[in-house]
Amino acid sequence: MGEEVKVFGYWASPYSYRAELALKLKGVSYEYINEDIFGNKIDLLLKYNPVHKKVPILLHNGKSIVESVVILEYIEETWKHNLYLPQDPYDKATARFWIKFIDEKNEREKVTNEACEYMKTLESALNGKKFFGGETIGMVDIVASSVGYFIRVTQEIMGLNLLSADKFPQLFQWSEDFANCSIVKESLPPRDKLLPFVKGLIAKYQQDNAKA
């Protein structure tokens, strides 16, 4: 039976990036549709994600799966090769713990100076390994791409250099190794496009806050 796999995402979204990377790691062909989440075309979002109205949305043979971590777990369980979660229940629980940790803290906290504790703790999860998943990219790495790539860009724009080689050498090295993997690079939004986009978002945010 032909598999129909679609991802509705947004090019600059770290969450929709996760879904794409997971499918790429499994070698699953999919159709990517960019949704203009800032525009008014939200019909598809309302149809497939009525509760949260967000991307990413994974459509597999007509069935929709939403929330990036739920999507990652679904992909892992549906395409049972190139596994990115450990098989052992305890190791799996540990991976899930780190995934929750990465996502839990408010995004803003991660880019400001309060991020130090966060970075330190995350670095401890690496514990001398090349990737969070060990020798190869695992689910924690996929989720941590938000920190390793997207937040690095945001920090740069804000003139903060939190994820630096001298402050967090292991984590910095991980973010370099991760971003240099060809499979990772394939669907990362290019820096020269992402930088002005995030700049615009930050400017808008500051503007809105100044008005309030």
Partner 1 sequence: MAEEVVLLDFWPSPFGMRSRIALAEKGIKYEHKEEDLRNKSALLLQMNPVHKKIPVLIHNGKPVCESLIQVQYIDEVWHDKAPLLPSDPYQKATARFWADYVDKKIYEVGGRVWKTKGEKQATAKKELIETLKLLEKELGDKPYFGGESLGYVDVAFIPFYSWFYALEKCGNFSIEAECPKLIAWAKRCMQKESVAKSLPDQQKVYDFILEMKKHFGIE
Question: In Å, how far are 2, 84, 106, 168, 191 from 12, measured between CA atoms?
Answer: 30, 23, 18, 25, 10
Q: Shortest Cβ distance from residue 191 to partner 1 (Å)?
A: 31
Give 98's strand partners. Answer: none
54 scored as a contact of partner 1 (CB under 8 A): no
Of 5 and 198, nearer to partner 1 (C-beta) is 5
Among 69, 157, 160, 179, binds partner 1 (CB under 8 A): 69
**Only segment of 23-31, 34-42, 60-68, 189-197 that touches partner 1 (CB under 8 A):** 60-68
Q: What's the rounded Cα separation, in Å, for the pair 45 and 188?
A: 22
- What is the pairing mode between strands 5-9 and 57-60? antiparallel
User: Tokens 């629980």 map to which residue?
Assistant: 93
Among 63, 129, 193, 204, binds partner 1 (CB under 8 A): 63
Nearest to 202 by CA among 88, 108, 73: 108
Angle at the Cα of 66 from the Cα atoms of 64 and 72, rounded to 5 degrees: 105
Of 51 and 212, nearer to partner 1 (C-beta) is 51
Annotate each residue in 96-125 with x if it binds partner 1 (CB under 8 A) or - if it does not, as one string.
xx--xx-------------------x----
Chain-centroid distance, C-alpha 75: 15
48 scored as a contact of partner 1 (CB under 8 A): no
Binding site for partner 1 (CB under 8 A): 51, 60, 63, 65-67, 69-71, 73-74, 77-78, 89-90, 92-93, 96-97, 100-101, 121
